[in-house]
């Protein structure tokens, strides 16, 4: 069943239903918050990741970075025609946060979105949790805006916060969704206002928890039963899984077949820095706790692509096929993509931008989506079609371009007042 079939049904219905609603908006402002394909049968998502607001508020360059990050939001949103914005983690740099105003930065991010009437949905990243910054408080701050669709569907200390799904409905009405968007919390960083016996911050595990994997599988099965079909889906998570690292190191990223920057080598992944037994005392590189999540995403019919951030210097998409050397999980052809570093905070000077994902009702029938990266310079790079032959289709390589913050003077970098130099 596709959105097109539903569309045809509605054309037929319109001959006797005079007052067919003219869905001009992708966003229904009524009491029911509904995402919908445009009348042209398209739904475009702009993914901003690693905005890293709120760095060094006490040095002049900190606030200057944020002014420039707001410009990135404005430039990219004006250049594209998105119906939804995804903020894919690390909205704020938590280690620089003051407890009394740590979530106020959400207002700066929300500004350009509210001005344009755009709905948005977030996942939280490892920097969104720290001694002075709480994920739950970020969610509460987002909820001051009716455009915020971020929510919490799984509870408990181990689950994280930003685990939920959104349904997208077809262009010509109806109450049968034709696309599911899944959002997962890969956690990380440090627990809010917690210190151990030695006065150190308490680390939060950095993978998608088993309770979330269970919820995902049960909820997906329930949705399939309820609508009597497999609904195509896309997923978002801040930290990529071990599969991304294995593709990078074992299969290799080719600039023409997986176009994008590949500068973060070897990339950082979920369960990094943790031991299999749950210790994170610096003795282990990787604990493999992301295996259940990898098994879940590769055994979900209709899941077309998984988008992550975290590694600012990696921007490619890969089709994950087969069992890679050293791995146990069998890739089922799932596309896994990085986005583009969007903020002036956070490491790296790669040209800021945002990955775009264009879903059309027509291509959705074949499980195919188009994606590209829009840079703040106006350039478009890495435009690919995630179809059956992705990995074998030849594309132009993405130039490895950089920019620096034009208004930031990085000469003076001082430690946070009131804290000891580390
Ligand atoms: C809404 O419809 C008008 C008139 O048909 C058109 O000019 C406009 O671009 C549409 N807006 C959207 C968001 O589709
Ligand atoms: C938060 O408080 C710090 C310290 O007073 C200040 O420098 C910073 O500008 C504040 N941030 C915001 C977004 O108001
Ligand atoms: C947390 O924020 C308070 C002010 O709200 C500040 O005094 C303190 O130094 C901060 N602590 C850390 C670890 O950043
Ligand atoms: C993680 O990926 C590496 C390759 O980068 C591989 O050697 C290792 O076996 C993988 N681990 C698991 C549990 O899949
Ligand atoms: C996939 O997309 C590429 C680029 O548009 C195209 O060349 C290729 O033929 C497509 N493959 C299939 C199976 O449609
Ligand atoms: C940057 O700040 C330093 C120290 O205040 C100053 O000497 C220098 O002139 C500044 N640079 C620019 C380009 O403003």
- Span 273-289, pLDDT tens digits: 999 999 999 999 999 99
Q: What percentage of the chain reaches a pLDDT higher than 90?
A: 90
Residue nearest to atom 4 of ligand 3 (CA): 98
Contact 272, 285 (CB under 8 A): yes
**Is the pLDDT at 325 greater than 80, yes or no?**
yes
Contact 93, 346 (CB under 8 A): yes
Looking at residue 116, which CATH number applies to its domain? 3.60.21.10
The Cα 48–Cα 337 span in angstroms is 13
The ligand with the least distance to the CA atom of 92 is 2
Is 143 contained in some domain?
Answer: yes
71: Cβ–Cβ under 8 A, 6 or more apart, which residues?
A: 376
Is 395 contained in some domain?
Answer: no
What are 113's strand-pairing partners? Answer: none
Is 129 contained in some domain?
Answer: yes
Mutate-to-test residue for ligand 4 from 244, 253, 326, highest number of ligand atoms within 8 A of CB: 326
Is 30 contained in some domain?
Answer: no
CA of 62 to the centre of ligand 6 (A): 15
Q: What is the pLDDT of residue 99?
A: 97
Ligand 1: lining residues by beta carbon, under 6 Å: 24, 38
Q: pLDDT tier at 26 (50, 70, 90 boundaries)?
A: very low
Mutate-to-test residue for ligand 2 from 51, 57, 111, highest number of ligand atoms within 8 A of CB: 57
Q: What is the pLDDT of residue 410?
A: 97
**Is the pLDDT at 108 greater than 80, yes or no?**
yes
**Is the pLDDT at 18 greater than 60, yes or no?**
no
Mutate-to-test residue for ligand 6 from 411, 412, 413, 414, highest number of ligand atoms within 8 A of CB: 411
The Cα 267–Cα 276 span in angstroms is 19
Number of domains into which the chain is organized: 1
Which structural domain, as residue segments, surrounds residue 358? 3-9+36-386
Q: pLDDT tier at 172 (50, 70, 90 boundaries)?
A: confident
In this structure, the number of other CB atoms found within 10 A of the CB of residue 382 comes to 27
Strand 179-184 with 164-169, pairing: antiparallel
Cis peptide before 232 (omega within 30 of 0): no
202: Cβ–Cβ under 8 A, 6 or more apart, which residues?
A: 190, 191, 194, 195, 196
The Cα 177–Cα 220 span in angstroms is 13
Q: What is the pLDDT of residue 115?
A: 94
Is 25 contained in some domain?
Answer: no
Is 366 contained in some domain?
Answer: yes
What is the per-residue DSSP string for 241-275?
-HHHHHIIIII---TTTS-S-B-SSSPP-TTBT--
Contact 81, 372 (CB under 8 A): no
- Mean pLDDT over the full length of the chain: 92
Is 404 contained in some domain?
Answer: no
Phi, psi of 342 (to 5 degrees): -100, -25
Ligand 2: lining residues by beta carbon, under 6 Å: 57-58, 98, 101, 104-105
Name the residue with higher pLDDT: 14 or 173. 173
- Which pTM value belongs to this model? 0.92
Is 422 contained in some domain?
Answer: no
Q: pLDDT tier at 174 (50, 70, 90 boundaries)?
A: confident
CA of 367 to the centre of ligand 5 (A): 13
Ligand 4: lining residues by beta carbon, under 6 Å: 242, 245-246, 249-250, 288, 291, 326-328
């Amino acid at each position: 069943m596709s959105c097109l079939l539903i569309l045809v049904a509605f054309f037929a219905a319109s001959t006797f239903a005079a007052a067919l609603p003219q869905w001009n908006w992708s966003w229904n402002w009524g009491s029911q918050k509904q995402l919908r394909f445009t009348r042209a049968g398209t739904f475009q998502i702009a993914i901003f990741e690693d905005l890293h607001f709120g760095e060094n508020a006490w040095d002049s360059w900190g606030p200057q970075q944020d002014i420039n990050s707001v410009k990135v939001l404005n430039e990219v949103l004006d250049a594209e025609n998105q119906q939804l914005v995804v903020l894919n983690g690390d909205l704020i740099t938590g280690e620089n946060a003051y407890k009394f105003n740590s979530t106020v930065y959400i207002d700066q991010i929300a500004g350009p979105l509210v001005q344009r009437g755009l709905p948005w949905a977030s996942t939280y990243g490892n920097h969104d949790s720290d001694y002075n910054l709480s994920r739950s408080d970020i969610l509460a701050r987002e909820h001051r805006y009716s455009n915020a669709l971020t929510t919490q569907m799984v509870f408990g200390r181990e689950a994280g916060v930003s685990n939920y799904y959104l349904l997208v409905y077809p262009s010509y009405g109806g109450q049968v969704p034709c696309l599911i968007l899944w959002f997962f919390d890969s956690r990380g960083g440090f627990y809010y206002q917690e210190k151990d016996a030695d006065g150190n911050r308490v680390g939060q595990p950095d993978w998608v928890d088993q309770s979330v994997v269970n919820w995902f599988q049960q909820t997906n099965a329930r949705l399939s039963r309820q609508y009597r079909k497999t609904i195509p889906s896309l997923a978002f998570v801040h930290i990529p899984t071990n599969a991304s690292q294995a593709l990078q190191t074992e299969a290799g990223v080719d600039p023409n077949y997986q176009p994008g920057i590949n500068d973060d080598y070897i990339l950082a992944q979920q369960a990094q820095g943790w031991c299999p037994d749950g210790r994170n005392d610096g003795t282990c590189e990787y604990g493999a706790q992301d295996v259940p999540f990898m098994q879940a995403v590769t055994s979900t019919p209709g899941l077309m692509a998984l988008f992550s951030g975290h590694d600012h210097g990696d921007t490619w998409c890969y089709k994950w096929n087969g069992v890679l050397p050293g791995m146990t999980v069998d890739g089922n052809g799932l596309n896994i993509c990085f986005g583009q570093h969007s903020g002036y905070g956070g490491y790296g000077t790669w040209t800021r931008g945002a990955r775009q994902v264009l879903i059309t009702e027509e291509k959705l029938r074949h499980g195919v989506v188009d994606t590209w990266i829009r840079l703040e310079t106006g350039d478009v790079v890495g435009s690919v079609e995630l179809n059956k032959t992705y990995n074998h289709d030849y594309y132009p390589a993405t130039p490895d371009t950089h920019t620096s913050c034009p208004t930031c003077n990085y000469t003076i970098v001082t430690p946070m007042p009131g804290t000891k130099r580390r």
